[in-house]
């Protein structure tokens, strides 16, 4: 079977991340590297982990290094991995001081307790001797200081969510030579959120896969959770809709609810799809024959497909 790959670097604007050319070249470099692994026989799960790791290490995206700061100035990251072949979900929620949250999600694939939050995730990192790592970048610190500057003149900082989310989450969905599907998503959250807020990225709403299809989402987590978007698209495919129908129907519903989100998807036959209710989706794909991206899609274009 010819492998397929689609990945995203979030739903925020190109300007935030250094413009069209630099975002395109980093997404393409990663899509090519990960596709080469799939061509050499790497599993969908292994390819997704590698893709997420590369995107987490790229400071222009809001995951791993370069994660946005929460309302209290701390970085707390969430990541999930789902092996479609085994229908097995694992993840970490609000973990700090690790370089690659996706590696913890990968380890948890084999455990009986598969989704760990803050203290539990930190304890796991310690048990696994994961070296402590500070994912903070100067850019994110300055961004937070700028947004919080008035707080320093007050007795108490405002520790609640801000209306304008950051949206630079990353995600990867792959189909391997054996026809197995996997999906992974990793995020620093939506930025300036209340302490303890839980992102969609480590929930089946934001990241889901079965032996039929896989989806990774980005955008405002609360909207993605309300739509239960990733699981909904995948389950619709399992119930007999084509990937195109499942994506279109789910995005139409999300549009009707005035949401701010996006999703990338593929199915076991090799179809690729993306959909969005937000203006921009930074996604790239590799079909084996061609590499493409969604960087120049208009705000009004809500979905796209590449049939097998
Ligand atoms: N979905 C993420 C969250 O709300 C943010 C993003 O996609 O950039 O935590």
**Candidates 8, 172, 220: which one to mutate for ligand 1, based on the most atoms within 8 Å of Cβ?**
220
**How many C-beta neighbours within 10 Å does residue 238 have?**
14
Q: What spacing in Å lies between the alpha carbon of 177 and ligand 1's midpoint?
A: 30
Average pLDDT over residues 154-170: 60
Locate the ligand 1 atom nearest the alpha carbon of residue 221 and give its number: 4
Locate the ligand 1 atom nearest the alpha carbon of residue 224 and give its number: 1
Q: What spacing in Å lies between the alpha carbon of 282 and ligand 1's midpoint?
A: 13
> Is the pLDDT confidence value at 162 over 90?
no
- For atom 8 of ligand 1, the residue with the nearest CA is 167
Which pLDDT belongs to residue 20?
A: 86
> Is the pLDDT confidence value at 171 over 90?
yes
Complete DSSP assignment for the chain: ---EEEEE--SS-HHHHTHHHHHHHHHHHHHHHHHHHHHTT--HHHHHHHHHHHHHT-TTSSSSTTPPP-TTS---EEEEEEETTTTEEEEEEEE-S-S-HHHHHHHHTTSSS-EEEHHHHHHHHHHTTPPP-----HHHHHHHHHHHGGGGGSSS---S--SS-----EEEEEE-TTS-EEEEEEE--SSSPPTT---GGGSTTTEEE-SSEEEEEEE-HHHHHHHTHHHHHHHHHHTT--HHHHHHHHHHHHHHTT--EEEEEEETTS-EEEEESSS---EEEE-SS-EEE-TT--TT--EEEE--
How far apart CA 21 and CA 256 sit, in angstroms, is: 33
Average pLDDT over residues 296-307: 91
Q: What is the pLDDT of residues 23-56, one digit of tens each?
A: 999 999 999 999 999 999 999 999 999 999 999 9
| Catalytic center residues | 169
pLDDT band at 19 (very low <50, low <70, confident <90, very high): confident
Q: What is the pLDDT of residues 190-238, one digit of tens each?
A: 998 999 999 999 999 999 999 999 999 999 999 999 999 999 999 999 9
> Is the pLDDT confidence value at 161 over 50?
no
> Is the pLDDT confidence value at 156 over 60?
no
Of residues 217, 220, 197, 221, the one with CA closest to residue 209? 217
> Is the pLDDT confidence value at 149 over 90?
no
Q: Which residues line ligand 1 (CB under 6 A)?
A: 10, 62, 167-169, 187, 189-190, 199-201, 218-221, 224
- For atom 9 of ligand 1, the residue with the nearest CA is 189
- For atom 4 of ligand 1, the residue with the nearest CA is 221
**Candidates 199, 260, 280: which one to mutate for ligand 1, based on the most atoms within 8 Å of Cβ?**
199
Locate the ligand 1 atom nearest the alpha carbon of residue 219 and give its number: 7
> Is the pLDDT confidence value at 80 over 80?
yes
Identify the burial level of 308 via C-beta atoms within 10 angstroms of its C-beta, where 0-12 means exposed, 13-18 middle and 19 or more buried: exposed
Q: What spacing in Å lies between the alpha carbon of 2 and ligand 1's midpoint?
A: 31
Q: What spacing in Å lies between the alpha carbon of 178 and ligand 1's midpoint?
A: 31
Least confident of 8-12, 94-98, 152-156, 285-289: 152-156
Locate the ligand 1 atom nearest the alpha carbon of residue 197 and give its number: 9
Locate the ligand 1 atom nearest the alpha carbon of residue 189 and give its number: 9
How far apart CA 228 and CA 207 sit, in angstroms, is: 10
Which pLDDT belongs to residue 164?
A: 57
Which pLDDT belongs to residue 155?
A: 53
* Domains: count for the chain: 1
**Candidates 193, 218, 225, 261: which one to mutate for ligand 1, based on the most atoms within 8 Å of Cβ?**
218
What CATH number corresponds to the domain at position 30? 3.60.20.30
Give me the chain's average pLDDT, please: 93
Supply the range of the domain harboring residue 28: 4-306
pTM: 0.95
- For atom 1 of ligand 1, the residue with the nearest CA is 221
Least confident of 16-25, 129-138, 183-192, 231-240: 16-25
Q: What spacing in Å lies between the alpha carbon of 222 and ligand 1's midpoint?
A: 9
Q: What spacing in Å lies between the alpha carbon of 201 and ligand 1's midpoint?
A: 7
Which pLDDT belongs to residue 153?
A: 63
């Amino acid at each position: 079977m010819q492998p397929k790959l689609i990945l995203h670097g979030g739903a925020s604007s190109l300007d935030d991340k250094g413009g069209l050319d630099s975002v395109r070249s980093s997404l393409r470099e990663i899509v090519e590297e990960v596709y080469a692994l799939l061509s050499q026989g790497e599993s969908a799960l292994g390819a997704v982990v590698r893709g997420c790791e590369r995107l987490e290490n790229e400071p222009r995206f809001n995951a791993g290094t370069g994660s946005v700061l929460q309302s209290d100035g701390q970085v707390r990251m969430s990541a999930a991995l789902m092996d479609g072949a085994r229908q097995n979900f694992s993840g970490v929620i609000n973990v700090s001081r690790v370089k690659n949250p996706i590696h913890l999600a990968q380890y948890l694939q084999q455990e009986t307790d598969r989704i760990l939050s803050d203290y539990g995730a930190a304890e796991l990192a310690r048990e696994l001797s994961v070296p402590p790592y500070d994912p903070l970048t100067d850019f994110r610190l300055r961004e937070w200081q700028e947004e919080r500057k008035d707080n320093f003149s007050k007795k108490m900082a405002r520790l609640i969510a801000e209306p304008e989310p950051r949206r630079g989450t990353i995600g990867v969905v792959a189909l391997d030579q054996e026809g197995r599907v996997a999906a992974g998503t990793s995020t620093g959250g939506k930025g300036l959120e209340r302490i303890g807020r839980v992102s969609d990225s480590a929930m089946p709403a934001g990241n889901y896969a079965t032996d039929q299809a896989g989806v990774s989402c980005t955008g405002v987590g609360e909207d993605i959770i309300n739509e239960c978007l990733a699981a909904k698209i995948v389950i619709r495919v399992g119930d007999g809709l084509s990937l195109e129908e499942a994506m279109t129907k789910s995005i139409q519903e999300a549009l009707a609810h005035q949401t701010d989100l996006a999703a990338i998807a593929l199915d076991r036959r090799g179809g690729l799809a993306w959909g969005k209710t937000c203006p921009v989706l930074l996604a790239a794909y590799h079909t084996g024959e061609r590499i493409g991206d969604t960087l120049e899609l208009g705000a009004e274009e809500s979905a796209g497909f590449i049939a097998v």
